[in-house]
Structure 1
Amino acid sequence: MNQPAPDPALRPVVARVAGLNLAYFGIEVSVALAIGSLALIADSLDFLEDAAINLLIFAGIGWSVRNRARLGIVLAGILLLPALATAYAAWIKFATMAPPAPIPLTLTGLGALAVNLTCAMMLARHRSGGGSLTRAAYLSARNDAFANLAIIAAGLATALTLSAWPDLIAAAGIAVLNADSAGDILRAARAEWRAAEARPENEARS
Structure 2
Amino acid sequence: MATPPHPIHDGTTPGYARALWLGMGMNLGYGVIEVAAGLLSGSQALKADSLDFLGDGLVSLLALLAIRWTLRSRAKVALAQGIFLGLLGLGVLGQTIAEFSQPRLPEGGMILIFGLMALAINILSALLLIPYRKGDASAEAVWLFARNDAIGNVGVVVAAGLVIWTGAAWPDRVVALLVAGLFLQSAFAILRDARADLARAP
Would you call these one fold, judging by a TM-score over 0.5? yes
Q: Does 1:90 align with 2:96?
A: yes
Matches within 5 A, 1:186-201: 186-196=191-201
CA deviations on 1:4-52 (whole Å, 9 max, x unpaired) are 5213421121011111000111111111000111011100000110010
The answer to whether the 8 Å contact 1:8/1:62 transfers is no
2:12 alignment partner AA: D
Q: Which runs of 4+ in 1 moved over 3 A?
A: none
What's the TM-score once normalised by structure 1's chain length? 0.90
The answer to whether the 8 Å contact 1:28/1:40 transfers is yes
Selected match of 2:190 from 146, 160, 185: 185
What's the TM-score once normalised by structure 2's chain length? 0.92
Report what 1:60 is aligned to. Answer: 66
Matches within 5 A, 1:1-206: 5-9=10-14, 10-129=16-135, 131-196=136-201, 204=202
SS at match of 2:189: helix
2:118 alignment partner AA: A
Q: State percent identity of aligned pairs.
A: 35
SS at match of 2:129: helix
The answer to whether the 8 Å contact 1:8/1:61 transfers is no
2:182 alignment partner AA: L
1:98 to partner: Cα distance:
1.7
For structure 1, the residue ranges without an aligned partner over 5 or more in a row are 197-203
CA-based RMSD = 1.3
Cα distance in 2, alignment partners of residues 164 and 81 from structure 1: 25
For structure 2, the residue ranges without an aligned partner over 5 or more in a row are 1-7
Query: When the two structures are aligned, how many residues end up with a matched partner?
Result: 194
Cα distance in 2, alignment partners of residues 145 and 95 from structure 1: 28
